[in-house]
Amino acid sequence: MTERPHLSVTPPQRSGMLLRLDEPTAAFYRFLYETVGERWGWTDRSGLSDDELLEIVTDPGVIIFVLFMGGVPAGFFELDCRVEGEVELAHFGLAPEFIGRGLGKYLLAAAIDAAWDEEPDRVWVSVTDREHPKGLLTYQWAGFEPYETIRTRE
């Protein structure tokens, strides 16, 4: 994505709140990461020590927002702004109990707005075949365009 899209998304009707996580703890970040990512096979942060994890998530170039619904963490997104001129949507998703409630597009639109607020040249996301079946289509709805396909054998 090389320019900010104009997305029109209805905010959640229930008591929802999107908050920036200014001082993440390792325990809370692990809770979010595991709750959202377990079913999709996320493992890139699993083996890190608390110190290694905190070095990443407390970096000034890493931005994390948490969506709360009725006071409960419902999902989160993480933006990696550490490479000049670009923002990676490094992690994004909903807790299993909140999938299918119409929150995904709202959260993605918020993530994209937050990414473009950093004034990058491009915003990008990496998608694998282990993610939600509608993930790629949802990213395309939001304005992302595929630019590279890599096939690997596991």
Q: What is the pLDDT of residue 131?
A: 64
Residue type, 114: A
In a domain, 51, yes or no: yes
**Residue 105, domain member (yes or no):** yes
Classify residue 147: in a domain, yes or no. Answer: no
Distance CA 67, CA 73 (A): 6
Q: Is residue 148 part of a domain?
A: no
Owner of token pair 């473009």? 116
More confident residue, 129 or 144: 144
Into how many domains does the chain fold? 1
Q: Would you say residue 78 has pLDDT above 90?
A: yes
**Model confidence at 145: pLDDT above 90:** no
In a domain, residue 151? The reply is: no
Domain assignment present for 23 = yes
Q: Per the domain annotation, does 39 fall within a domain?
A: yes
Single out the residue of 113, 133, 132 nearest to residue 123, CA to CA: 113
Mean pLDDT within 79-92: 96
Confidence class for position 146, pLDDT limits 50, 70, 90:
confident
Domain that holds residue 102: 16-141
CATH code assigned at 112: 3.40.630.30
Per-residue confidence at 95, pLDDT binned at 50, 70, 90?
very high
Q: Has residue 89 been placed in a domain?
A: yes
Q: How many helices (H) and strands (E) does the chain have?
A: 4, 5
Length of the chain: 154
Structure pTM? 0.88
Range among 87-91, 124-128, 133-137 rated most confident: 87-91
User: pLDDT-based confidence at 98, cuts 50/70/90?
Assistant: very high
Sequence-distant (≥ 6) Cβ neighbours of residue 22 within 8 angstroms: none
Spell out the residues 6+ positions from residue 80 whose beta carbon is closer than 8 angstroms to its own: 61, 62, 87, 88, 90
Number of Cβ within a 10 Å radius of residue 127: 16
